[in-house]
Structure 1
Amino acid sequence: MPAKEAIILAGGLGTRLRSVVTDLPKCMAPVAGQPFLKHVIRYFLSQGIEKFIFSLGYKHDRIEEFLNIEFPTLNLQCSVEEEPLGTGGAVQLACKRATESNVIVVNGDSLFKADVQKSFASHIDSKAECTLLMKPMRDFDRYGVVELDTDFTVKKFKEKQFYQAGDINGGVYVLNVESFLDLGFPEKFSFEKNYLEKYFPSKKIFGAIQDEYFIDIGIPEDYQRAQEELKQIPLYLENIDPNWTLFLDRDGVINYEKENNYILNWDEFEFYPGVTEAISRLSKKFGAVIVISNQRGVGRGLMTEEDLLDIQARMKLRIEDDGGRVDAIYYCTATEPTHFCRKPNPGMALQAARDFPSINLSKSIMVGNKTSDMQFGRNAGTYTVYVKTTHPEQPLPHPDIDLAFDSLIDVAKAL
């Protein structure tokens, strides 16, 4: 049973950031050309989180507008505080909207790239009421320290002071919703002081230590550090080797697409010139070649799934006849735009990574002809390559596009 739902605490004022960021909620502070919240959302999408509850307060309308524009297909709710409720009150209000028994709770002004699903599984196995994800640090005085007992339950919370080494609270929790709400907290309270520090001796509150990337943008020095550390690392094609995976959109990349319509049968399917040669070349470079495709025509009843499978089988055979290969084809027939497997949501890439343990999404490229393909790649944690087959007017550079080429054969030749 994986983690599916997250509460993002995004109501902070960002008082300590006023010298560098004015008139914005803290989580909306620009970092590496994007609001910090966008980095947080994309990381948790790449971790398989399907549903989001945004706990909002200060200037909530700015965040809601951002979500509507940047993440129109995200399965989300907003929990808005009419007045500041403290971190505990914000979590409590948002938990009343939760649809899962256990949820991830995340501070929206920090990013901890921990393996959320691993800690979620431990939380469930331990029948924990709360699990803190903890980050080991050295030579620091900005955070308190959490000590664990031999069974990984929390033993002690230690105050902020200078520590040569210690494990800090990483601002990510797994929380059992029912047991938390049953405690009957007042409307306003602190999650850290009134829940964690009060109840750890009597409740099943665990810690999970992961030494992964962590940044908290709450002070100007770390905010500036995040500008560099969260920049998109450039894609260098000369680094591609068999440890890399290639994801290909189908219509508009492999074959001509029908404008405002669907390829309904094999007679309507036509390869772009040079595509089978391109895939043959690319097959020699990449360890896996995988086709990822939205196929809403099935969901709308315009074609059957058998029609789709016939097209895919014939396409795959033709590619193999010309010396290439397709290791798997993933498709989504859902009609609702918020379905987690429908691009730009990353469900199909995450399923491929589960099916092929050798896939490393940070060493993967998504090739597509629409910005939604590029968003899919970013949401899954891959690099992106845009082909201009159907939308050559696309403005470049674009924050979601690493490289752009005229067609798939041009991508192959560049390699």
Structure 2
Amino acid sequence: MKALFLAGGLGTRLRPLTEHLPKPMALVGNRPWLEHLLMHYNEQGVNEFVIAVKHYRELIESHLGDGSKYGVRIDYAVEKELLGTAGAIKNAEHLLNDRFIVVNADIIHQVDLKSAMKFHENHGGAVTICLTEVDDPSHYGVVEQTGNGRITRFIEKPKKEEAPSNRINAGIYIMERSALDFVPAGRSVSIEKETFPLLIENGRGVYGHPIGGYWMDMGTKERYRQLHWDLLDRRFPVKIDGKDMEDKGIWLGENVRVGQGVLFVPPVMIGDDVTIGDRAIIGPYAVVGKGSRIGNQVRLSNSILWDRCKIRGGAQLNECIFGSGMQVGPHILHEAVCNRTLEVQRR
């Protein structure tokens, strides 16, 4: 089985963090989400991957390579221009098998692939759309299904009280190669608005299967924060690198240097090669990236730092998200999201 990861787009709503970075490469728990995704599907038995790339493709290729360091094989399908979801799949058709998995790579999720594959094999249709259930479906495209799971239509952003279900497209598909006969080549094609309705109209069998478990679109800064708090609280059970100190929700990576009088208020995640100055207070809900330097008497809470950040002594940071290499002078910041050098002097 091959999996196709759609990683060509930019995360416009996560800017400035993803201003020069594909959204699937945003760090989740000090590791690019695309790497987590690769490992998750490999654990489910997938060992061949195709990654559809467009913007900043060299960042993805330089990090993941050919997949050999993960024990898998990775091929790349390059889009000269963005082709939409179905167009990107069509562009990668020559690298795919008769049956394959498609994953929107910026969706945070964990899926029971065995269950979804069994459902797909049993119904015999062209596509299985993995579904997730939401409390308020009015912000999404909702599916209408028959009793056996066959999808009859999609309803875009219905009123909550008028929605036929609370099930929405989770951005994960199991597809037969024959479905691509309904996708024109060489132009942008929406799988949700064009391909799926066309397959339904032609009786090719589009079915929906609820995946359960964790699911989140990390496309906003608020959801990106919540994803990390869920990770630290273990509601999202992705692997956390580092040793959990006495099982107290304080994860420390390798070669972490901790000064005198430092207080960790769990949950806290500290990456490799981090230095923390004397009498700093870290947490609750703090993620510190690899190679970062935290000065003396820094107060850091409800914040996420990517790799190689430098926080000068005396700074107080709350609800901040800083991209890699940020330098912050001694000041107080609340709800800041930055991806460039920031020097704010104490007033």
After superposition, the C-alpha distances for 1:215-252 in whole angstroms (9 at most, x for unaligned) are 11122221221222234959xxxxxxxxxxxxxxxxxx
Does residue 125 of structure 2 align to residue 128 of structure 1? yes
Distance 1:69 1:122 in 2: 31
Check whether the contact 2:127–2:207 (CA below 8 A) recurs between aligned residues. Answer: yes
The residue matched to 1:31 in structure 2 has which SS? coil
Check whether the contact 2:183–2:195 (CA below 8 A) recurs between aligned residues. Answer: no
After superposition, the C-alpha distances for 1:171-222 in whole angstroms (9 at most, x for unaligned) are 1100001x12323513221111110123223221111113221011122221
Q: Which amino acid aligns with 2:22?
A: P
Check whether the contact 2:142–2:166 (CA below 8 A) recurs between aligned residues. Answer: yes
How has the CA–CA distance of structure 1 residues 162 and 214 changed in structure 2, closer, same or farther, with 3 Å as cutoff?
A: farther
Q: How does 1:26-65 map to 2 (within 5 A)?
A: 26-65=23-62
Distance 2:233 2:98 in 1: 35
Q: Could you tell me the TM-score, scaled by structure 1's length?
A: 0.54
Q: Which amino acid aligns with 2:6?
A: L
Aligned to 1:80: 78
The residue matched to 1:138 in structure 2 has which SS? coil
Check whether the contact 1:112–1:171 (CA below 8 A) recurs between aligned residues. Answer: no
Q: How does 1:164-313 map to 2 (within 5 A)?
A: 166-177=166-177, 179-188=178-187, 189-202=189-202, 203-231=204-232, 233=234
Q: Which amino acid aligns with 1:166?
A: N
Distance 2:88 2:213 in 1: 27
Return the offset for 1:74: 2.4
Distance 2:72 2:218 in 1: 24
Does residue 78 of structure 2 align to residue 93 of structure 1? no
Structure number with larger C-alpha Rg: 1
Check whether the contact 2:90–2:183 (CA below 8 A) recurs between aligned residues. Answer: no
Distance 2:48 2:67 in 1: 16
Aligned to 1:405: none
Check whether the contact 1:6–1:52 (CA below 8 A) recurs between aligned residues. Answer: yes
Q: How does 1:245-394 map to 2 (within 5 A)?
A: none
After superposition, the C-alpha distances for 1:112-137 in whole angstroms (9 at most, x for unaligned) are 32211211122122211000010111
How has the CA–CA distance of structure 1 residues 382 and 37 changed in structure 2, closer, same or farther, with 3 Å as cutoff?
A: closer
Distance 2:8 2:40 in 1: 19
The residue matched to 2:154 in structure 1 has which SS? strand
Check whether the contact 2:91–2:185 (CA below 8 A) recurs between aligned residues. Answer: no
After superposition, the C-alpha distances for 1:156-175 in whole angstroms (9 at most, x for unaligned) are 20112453660010111000
After superposition, the C-alpha distances for 1:13-47 in whole angstroms (9 at most, x for unaligned) are 11122144321111111222111212222221221
Distance 1:159 1:226 in 2: 26
Distance 1:227 1:159 in 2: 29
Aligned to 2:248: none
Structure 2 unaligned blocks of 5 or more? 244-252, 257-269, 273-347
Distance 1:162 1:216 in 2: 21
Q: Which amino acid aligns with 2:200?
A: F
Return the offset for 1:138: 0.6
How has the CA–CA distance of structure 1 residues 232 and 396 changed in structure 2, closer, same or farther, with 3 Å as cutoff?
A: farther
Correspondent of 1:12 among 6, 9, 18: 9
Q: Which amino acid aligns with 2:27?
A: P
Aligned-residue CA RMSD (Å) = 2.9
Check whether the contact 1:91–1:191 (CA below 8 A) recurs between aligned residues. Answer: no
Check whether the contact 1:32–1:226 (CA below 8 A) recurs between aligned residues. Answer: no
The residue matched to 2:24 in structure 1 has which SS? helix
Q: Which amino acid aligns with 1:89?
A: G
Check whether the contact 2:137–2:157 (CA below 8 A) recurs between aligned residues. Answer: no
Q: Which amino acid aligns with 2:169?
A: N
Distance 1:70 1:229 in 2: 28
Distance 1:133 1:184 in 2: 20
Q: Could you tell me the TM-score, scaled by structure 2's length?
A: 0.64
Distance 2:143 2:166 in 1: 8
The residue matched to 1:30 in structure 2 has which SS? coil
Return the structure number with greater helix share. Answer: 1
Higher RCO, 1 vs 2 (CA within 8 Å, ≥6 residues apart): 1
Distance 1:67 1:120 in 2: 26
Distance 2:223 2:159 in 1: 17
Distance 2:28 2:241 in 1: 19
Does residue 149 of structure 2 align to residue 152 of structure 1? yes
Identity, % of aligned pairs?
Answer: 29
Aligned positions, number: 244
Q: Which amino acid aligns with 2:219?
A: G
Structure 1 unaligned blocks of 5 or more? 235-361, 363-377, 386-393, 401-415
Query: Which moves more between the two structures, 195-204 or 206-215?
Result: 195-204
Distance 1:112 1:121 in 2: 19
Return the offset for 1:396: 3.6
After superposition, the C-alpha distances for 1:60-118 in whole angstroms (9 at most, x for unaligned) are 111101102986332111111111111111111122201x3211100000023221121
Check whether the contact 1:141–1:162 (CA below 8 A) recurs between aligned residues. Answer: yes
